[in-house]
């Protein structure tokens, strides 16, 4: 029987964990790449720090082992580039080493993992990038993140062009303010700030990770969205 597989980065928590659960519900096998192990039975975990380019190359074999079983069963692979790094910094004094670390994690790692996974991806497979509202908009004091998330969008568009004719489609899902550790940590775990953010959203609340997981699942399984940018933000109120 064909075995469909989700290969995902960052399923140890947040949007990635919700996405792994969503695909499991649809019968997919799940292979996760992150530093810590997801608390989710049935996931094949390959411990990996994607901020380390050499470590990614060294993970080529376990990734190939996990994906070769899919190829043998004529199943499809959904590759979701979800892991991300958000930090506070400014164009005024962002050290080159910090920009490199964020670009490696958010942009270069997905490009490296694409090259490891593509040989095992049959027609019907897909690559879904997780961008951000900040893939198409700038805000102050998140220079490396804004820069990297714009580049994620470029990588998705380049993927669409380079993979034309392969039967593999790609899209970029751009979450708005989602209720995860990343957002909480970014605002110093201050509930008042989170409540204030929610007032700027048309539904008056933060997005739940499961809602983004649903958008990722929909994008991954509908090739008509090839090359699409999907803003999943509940409607941000423009000031």
Ligand X SMILES: NC(=O)c1ccc[n+]([C@@H]2O[C@H](COP(=O)([O-])OP(=O)(O)OC[C@H]3O[C@@H](n4cnc5c(N)ncnc54)[C@H](OP(=O)(O)O)[C@@H]3O)[C@@H](O)[C@H]2O)c1
Footprint of ligand X on this chain (CB under 6 A)? 9-10, 12-16, 34-36, 48-51, 82-86, 105, 130, 132, 175, 177-178, 180-183
Q: Which is nearer to ligand X, 165 or 192 (CB)?
A: 192
C-alpha 141/C-alpha 94 separation (Å) is 10
Q: What's the closest the beta carbon of residue 143 comes to ligand X, in angstroms?
A: 15
Q: What's the closest the beta carbon of residue 150 comes to ligand X, in angstroms?
A: 12
Q: Which is nearer to ligand X, 121 or 206 (CB)?
A: 206
C-alpha 66/C-alpha 71 separation (Å) is 10
Q: What's the closest the beta carbon of residue 69 comes to ligand X, in angstroms?
A: 23
Residue 82 C-beta-side C-alpha neighbours within 13 Å = 32
Q: What's the closest the beta carbon of residue 26 comes to ligand X, in angstroms?
A: 20
- Cβ atoms of 215 and 204 within 8 Å: the answer is no
Q: Which is nearer to ligand X, 76 or 135 (CB)?
A: 135
Q: What's the closest the beta carbon of residue 182 comes to ligand X, in angstroms?
A: 3
Sign of the dihedral defined by the CA atoms of residues 29, 125, 118, 8, in that order: negative
Q: What's the closest the beta carbon of residue 134 comes to ligand X, in angstroms?
A: 7
Q: Which is nearer to ligand X, 118 or 130 (CB)?
A: 130
Q: Which is nearer to ligand X, 4 or 180 (CB)?
A: 180
Q: What is the DSSP string of 122-180?
A: -TT-EEEEE--GGGS---TTBHHHHHHHHHHHHHHHHHHHHTTTTT-EEEEEEE-SBSS
Helices (H), 165-208: 181-186, 191-198
Q: Which is nearer to ligand X, 139 or 164 (CB)?
A: 139
C-alpha 35/C-alpha 18 separation (Å) is 17
- Cβ atoms of 199 and 140 within 8 Å: the answer is no
C-alpha 137/C-alpha 27 separation (Å) is 36
Euclidean distance between the first and final Cα of the chain, in Å? 53
């Amino acid at each position: 029987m064909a075995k469909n597989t989700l290969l995902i980065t960052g399923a140890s928590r947040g949007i990635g964990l919700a996405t792994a659960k969503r695909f499991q519900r649809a019968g997919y096998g799940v292979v996760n790449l992150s530093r810590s192990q997801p608390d989710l039975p049935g996931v094949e975990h390959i411990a990996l720090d994607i901020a380390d380019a050499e470590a990614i190359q060294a993970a080529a074999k376990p990734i190939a082992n996990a994906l070769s079983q899919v190829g043998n069963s004529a199943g499809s692979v959904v590759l979701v580039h979800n892991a991300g790094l958000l930090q506070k910094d400014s164009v005024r004094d962002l050290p080159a080493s910090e920009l490199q670390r964020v670009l490696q994690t958010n942009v270069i790692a997905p490009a490296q993992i694409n090259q490891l996974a593509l040989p095992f991806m049959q027609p019907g497979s897909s690559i879904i990038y997780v961008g951000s509202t900040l893939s198409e908009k700038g805000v102050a004091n998140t220079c490396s993140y804004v820069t990297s998330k714009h580049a994620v969008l470029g990588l998705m568009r380049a993927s669409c062009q380079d993979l034309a004719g392969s039967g593999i489609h790609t899209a970029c899902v751009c979450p708005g303010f989602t209720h995860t550790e990343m957002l909480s940590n970014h605002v110093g775990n201050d509930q008042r700030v989170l409540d204030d953010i929610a007032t700027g959203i048309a539904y008056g609340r933060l997005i739940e990770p499961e809602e983004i997981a649903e958008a990722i699942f929909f994008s991954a399984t509908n090739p008509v969205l090839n090359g699409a940018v999907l803003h999943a933000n509940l409607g941000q109120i423009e000031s």
